[in-house]
């Protein structure tokens, strides 16, 4: 169901509110450049600082703008199972193709607690679920054994894997039949080499054509072409993480003239020296003028 290039779309703000016009323009930019799926309200979309009503509004805007031109996998995760269930059921009713649900953070649930969290949301919503394992943000790792157990729930069909480990991906695929999507742009090619089907990408916000080309070439068996793109964009991928995501990618989008340079606190603008480094990289890649 899920494969290819999905973008974890940034959420633009204007004077503290979601900038709907800019958001729709970002989506059109993605569609024009071949993106297979849009993920509103993920970590890159600053979902943790959006109210539930704002999240619902952003999801609705995405669905209205996209129509049937790409998959819509809404970020509906929370460290509160009840809240995640409410958002996931909303996504189902609104017409999303799936939901991306982060492993509960801060609470540090046991593997049994993780299992029950995902199982209950999946069974209640009946929406295709993409698990999201990102231990650098949540403080704990979703083990391959727990993923295998969850894969037996009928509508838990995929995982966004962002632990940065090829071994983790191999262990998941060896234990169960679940679609693995890379959650780390630098690891997309290595993960696909051991069986992943694509990526939920940050850098696709600014180079959607390249990420689409990389994943499509690999899936079409054009491995050398995919490898060429991987190494071509590596410097840009690294630049997206010189500060906490999504600070660099939103700065890049602003420098490209696509959104305002605004975040939700506690995120803030880049340090001047890092902003200068990012600008140099964008110039090098031809994304902005010197």
Annotated catalytic residues are: 132, 160
Compute, in degrees rounded to 10, the torsion defined by CA atoms 190, 215, 234, 205. -130
- Give Cα separations from 256 to 260, 267, 283 (angstroms): 10, 20, 10
37: three-class secondary structure by DSSP: strand
**Dist CA 160 CA 182 (whole Å):** 6
Task: Tokens for 41, please give them.
Answer: 């309200």
Cβ(119)–Cβ(145) under 8 Å? no
Q: Tell me the H-state helices in the chain.
A: 20-32, 52-66, 81-94, 111-125, 135-138, 144-150, 166-175, 188-193, 208-219, 223-239, 247-255, 272-284
**Dist CA 71 CA 6 (whole Å):** 8
**Beta strand pairing status for 129-133 and 13-14?**
unpaired
**Beta strand pairing status for 4-8 and 198-201?**
parallel
DSSP 8-state symbol, 269: P
Cβ(6)–Cβ(44) under 8 Å? no
Cβ(161)–Cβ(168) under 8 Å? yes
Cis peptide before 212 (omega within 30 of 0): no
């Amino acid at each position: 169901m899920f494969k290819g290039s999905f973008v974890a779309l940034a959420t633009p703000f204007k004077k503290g509110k979601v900038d709907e016009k800019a958001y729709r323009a970002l989506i059109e930019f993605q569609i024009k450049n071949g993106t297979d799926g849009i993920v509103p309200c993920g970590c890159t979309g600053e979902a943790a600082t959006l109210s539930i009503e704002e999240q619902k509004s952003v999801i609705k805007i995405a669905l209205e703008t996209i129509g049937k031109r790409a998959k819509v996998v809404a970020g509906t995760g929370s460290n509160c199972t009840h809240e995640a269930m409410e958002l996931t059921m909303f996504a189902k009713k609104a017409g999303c193709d799936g939901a991306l649900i982060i492993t509960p953070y801060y609470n540090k649930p046991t593997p049994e607690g993780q299992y029950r969290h995902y199982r209950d949301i999946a069974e209640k919503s009946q929406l295709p679920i993409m698990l999201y394992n990102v231990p650098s943000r949540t403080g704990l790792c979703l083990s391959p054994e727990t993923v295998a157990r969850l894969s037996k729930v009928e509508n838990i069909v995929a995982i966004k894997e962002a632990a940065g480990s090829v071994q983790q991906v191999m262990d998941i695929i060896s234990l169960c039949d679940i679609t693995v999507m890379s959650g780390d742009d630098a690891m997309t090619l290595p993960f696909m080499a051991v069986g992943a089907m694509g990526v939920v990408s940050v850098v696709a916000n600014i180079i959607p054509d390249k990420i689409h080309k990389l994943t499509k070439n690999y899936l079409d068996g054009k491995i050398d072409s995919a490898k060429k793109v991987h190494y071509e964009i590596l410097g840009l991928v690294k630049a997206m993480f010189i500060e906490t995501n999504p600070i660099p990618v939103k700065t890049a989008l602003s420098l490209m003239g696509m959104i305002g340079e605004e975040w939700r606190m506690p995120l803030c603008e880049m340090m001047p020296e890092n902003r200068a480094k990012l600008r140099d990289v964008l110039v090098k890649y031809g994304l902005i003028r010197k």
